[in-house]
């Protein structure tokens, strides 16, 4: 059982630890955030909270039943009823349905709380697990794109 929590200042330490612990794992299938992300994390976290306060983005952490931060899931660039979904689950927590459960919960939040009607998502072509999650949660492949300069695929899901 997982739950989503809207990002807040108190998540900073756990989120930084999560990102450091999983950096090499994430870099296998998504572009690396770079050293500056970790060096400037307090300022980056504050900037995310400001974007969230302005309603531009909706950031969430994924917590397991014990309250451990196991991932993050976000809606970026929310405007005109649409937003881009992004998520990542820590390596120790993969293969347990965490990503599927989080995406399903986020789709409900996007519709019911954030009044969005369409979500888009992108993933690299070598991230078969993410493509499987998106397909299993009702997203439809739309075509090719790039993700951080790497070949990728675009997806979309209508919520209403």
* 43-100 pLDDT per residue, tens: 999 999 999 999 999 999 999 999 999 999 999 999 999 999 999 999 999 999 999 9
Predicted pLDDT of residue 145: 95
pLDDT, averaged across the chain: 95
How large a percentage of the chain has pLDDT more than 70? 100
Does 160 score more than 90 pLDDT? no
Does 149 score more than 90 pLDDT? no
* 13-22 pLDDT per residue, tens: 999 999 999 9
Torsion angle, CA of 108/122/67/18, rounded to 10 degrees?
-160
Give the residue among 147, 99, 100, 148 at the shortest CA–CA distance from 121.
147
3-state secondary structure of 101: helix
Predicted pLDDT of residue 98: 97
Tell me the domains of the chain and their CATH numbers.
Answer: 2-158 (3.40.630.30)
28 band by pLDDT with thresholds 50, 70 and 90 = confident
Q: Could you give the CA distance from residue 152 to residue 96 in angstroms, rounded to a whole number?
A: 24
Predicted pLDDT of residue 32: 83
Concatenate the DSSP letters of all residues of 45-77 into one string: HHHHHHHHHTTS-EEEEEEETT--EEEEEEEEE
Predicted pLDDT of residue 63: 98
| pTM of the predicted model as reported, rounded to 2 decimal places | 0.94
């Amino acid at each position: 059982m997982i739950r989503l929590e809207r990002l807040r200042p108190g998540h900073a330490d756990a989120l930084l630890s999560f990102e450091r612990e999983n950096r090499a794992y994430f870099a296998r299938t998504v572009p690396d955030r770079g050293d500056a992300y970790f060096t400037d994390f307090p300022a980056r976290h504050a900037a995310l909270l400001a974007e969230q306060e302005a309603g531009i983005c909706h950031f969430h952490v994924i917590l397991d039943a014990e309250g451990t931060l196991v991932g993050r899931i976000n809606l970026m660039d929310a405007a005109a009823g649409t937003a881009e979904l992004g998520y990542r689950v820590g390596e120790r927590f993969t293969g347990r349905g965490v990503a599927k459960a989080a995406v399903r919960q986020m789709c409900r939040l996007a519709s019911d709380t954030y009044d969005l009607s369409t979500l888009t998502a992108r993933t690299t072509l070598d991230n078969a697990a993410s493509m499987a999650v998106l397909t299993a949660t009702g997203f439809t492949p739309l075509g090719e794109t790039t993700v951080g300069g790497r070949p990728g695929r675009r997806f979309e899901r209508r919520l209403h």
